[in-house]
Structure 1
Amino acid sequence: MVEAALAQLTERQIIDLDAQSKASMVSNLLVILCSDRAAQPVVNSGTAPN
């Protein structure tokens, strides 16, 4: 599912991810898929990488 999601995002040119962002998205999607609880929305208040 994660691989298909990334492929569709790339194919449809919705987002262009670098390797670090792609790894982060894969990790987040796997946590959501493997969790036994509903996902909780999180607001990242940190700084964006330059």
Structure 2
Amino acid sequence: MPRADPGFVVSPVGVAELEERGLEGRTVPGSGHTIDRDDFEYLMTPPDGWI
């Protein structure tokens, strides 16, 4: 799950809840509401340890 930085749609408590349920995500530094427009390359780069 990509998350903007600063994120306002999903709270830190919400993120923790989703992680407890097994969902993995990452914060895209300096991005806004439209992460794909703010930093598409970072968004499309697979995180270390995945795949």
Instruction: Report if TM-score (shorter chain) is over 0.5.
Output: no
TM-score (ref. length: structure 1): 0.29
Larger RCO (CA within 8 A; separation ≥ 6):
2
Structure having the larger proportion of residues in strand: 2
Structure having the larger proportion of residues in helix: 1
TM-score (ref. length: structure 2): 0.29
